[in-house]
Structure 1
Amino acid sequence: MFPIVDTHCDALCKLATGTAQSFVNDPTLETNLERLQRGRVRCQLFALYVPPSVKQENMFAMVRKQIAAFHQAVLTCPNMVHIRSLSEIATLKDGQIGAGLTLEGMDAIGRDRAQLSWLYEQGILAIGLTWNDANMCADGIGEKRGAGLTSYGESVIDENNTRGVVNDVSHLSVRAFWDVMAQSKKTMASHSNAYTVCPHRRNLRDDQLDALIKTDSFIGLVFYPPFVTNKDEACLDDLLPHIDHIGSRGGIKHIGFGSDFDGIDTYVTGLSHAGCYDTLINHLLKFYREEEVRGFCSRNFMEKVVRH
Structure 2
Amino acid sequence: MRLFDLHCDTIEELKKRGEDYLNCTTQFSLRDRDKLQKAVQVMAVFVPDDIRGPEAVQFVLDYHQYMDDQVRKTGGQAELVEKITDLDRILDEGKWAFIRSIESGAALNGDLDNINRFADLNFKMLGLVWNGANELGSGPNNDTGLTAFGKEAVKRMEQVGMIVDCSHLNDAGFEDLLNIAERPFVASHSNVRACCSHPRNLTDAQFKELVRRGGLCGLNLFSRFIDDDDNGSKDYLLRHIYHMLELGGEDVIAWGGDMDGEITCDPDLSTPYGVGRFANYLLEHGIGETAVQKIFFDNAYRFFKQQVK
Task: Give the conservation status (yes or no) of the 8 Å contact 1:133–1:141.
Answer: yes
Name 2:66's counterpart in structure 1.
Answer: 69
Match of 2:283 among 260, 264, 285: 285
- 1:168-183 equivalence runs, <5 A: 168-183=165-180
Task: Name the residue aligned to 2:116.
Answer: 117
Whether the aligned pair in 2 keeps the contact of 1:15 and 1:69 (CA below 8 Å) is no
Aligned: 1:233 with 2:231: yes
Distance 1:176 1:87, change over 3 A: farther
| Structure 1 residue matching 2:116: 3-state secondary structure | helix
Distance 1:26 1:298 in 2: 25
2:201 and 2:115 mapped to 1: Cα distance? 28
Whole-Å separation in 2 of the counterparts to 1:45 and 1:169: 15
Change over 3 Å in CA distance of 1:40–1:243 after alignment to 2? same
Give the corresponding residue for 1:222: 220
On the 8 A contact 1:161/1:186 being kept in 2, the answer is: no
Distance in 2, matches of 1:172 and 1:265, equals 19
**Change in 2 beyond 3 A, CA 1:32/1:24:** same
d(CA) in 2 for partners of 1:265 and 1:125?
24
Q: Assess if the C-alpha contact under 8 Å between 2:136 and 2:150 holds in 1.
A: yes
Q: Which residue of 1 aligns with 2:260?
A: 262
Quick one: distance in 2 between partners of 1:304 and 1:155? 23
**Which deviations, in whole Å up to 9, do the C-alpha atoms of 1:202-255 show, x marking residues without a partner?**
000010011110101111001111100123322212111101101001112211
Tell me which residue corresponds to 1:187.
185
Matched, 1:33 2:30: yes
Residue pair 1:6, 1:258 contacting (<8 A) in 2 also: yes
1-structure distance, mates of 2:52, 2:232: 34
- The aligned counterpart of 1:253 is 251
Q: CA deviation at 1:116?
A: 3.5
Q: 2 CA distance for matches of 1:55 and 1:119?
A: 16
Q: Does 1:3 align with 2:12?
A: no
Quick check: 1:149–1:176 contact (8 Å CA) kept in 2? yes
Unpaired stretches in structure 2, ≥5 consecutive residues: none
Runs of 5+ consecutive residues of structure 1 not aligned to the other structure: none
Instruction: Classify the secondary structure of the residue corresponding to 1:252.
Output: coil
> Which residue does 2:19 correspond to in 1?
21
Aligned AA (2:2)? P
Aligned-partner Cα distance in 2 for 1:97–1:229: 31
**1:116-135 mapped onto 2 (5 Å cutoff):** 116-135=115-134
Shift of 1:41: 5.5
Is the CA contact (8 Å cut-off) linking 1:235 and 1:270 kept in structure 2? Answer: no
What letter matches 2:98 in structure 1? A
Cα RMSD, aligned residues only = 1.9
2:199 alignment counterpart: 201
8 A contact 1:243–1:252 mirrored in 2:
no
The answer to whether the 8 A contact 2:191-2:225 is kept is yes
Separation in structure 2 between the aligned mates of residue 84 and residue 255 of structure 1, nearest angstrom: 25
Give the match's secondary structure for 2:40: strand
Q: With structure 1 as the length reference, what TM-score do the two structures score?
A: 0.92
